[in-house]
């Protein structure tokens, strides 16, 4: 079974996961927090996050993270892989 069919986001308004506006503004922050709250209870958050990180830049909340948070995760992964190779 595909992990996507088990996501709690399927029972929510899809717009919740795609906040529109300036990051850090009141309404965007509230909407982002509400979307992340759904993700915290979702049984496929890890699979969703892994997909979003592997897919590269994708808009919206995926796996309980924003696009900026996923970008930071990818940078950390790259740094970690460089450190591992350097130590070898």
- Binding-site positions: 9, 39, 42, 48
Tokens 């830049």 correspond to what residue? 57
Tokens 């909407």 correspond to what residue? 31
Residue ranges for the known binding site for [4Fe-4S] cluster are 9, 39, 42, 48
Residue 17, number of CB atoms within 10 A of its CB = 20
Q: Would you say 59 and 67 are in contact if contact means Cβ atoms under 8 Å apart?
A: yes
DSSP string, 44-59: THHHHHHHHHHH-S--
């Amino acid at each position: 079974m595909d992990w996507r069919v088990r996501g709690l986001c399927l029972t929510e308004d899809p717009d919740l996961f795609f906040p529109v506006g300036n990051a850090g503004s009141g309404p965007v922050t509230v909407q982002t927090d509400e979307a992340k709250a759904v993700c915290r209870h979702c049984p496929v958050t890890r699979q969703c996050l892994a997909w979003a990180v592997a897919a590269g830049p994708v808009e919206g909340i995926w796996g309980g993270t924003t696009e900026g948070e996923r970008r930071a995760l990818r940078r950390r992964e790259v740094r970690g892989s460089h450190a591992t190779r350097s130590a070898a």
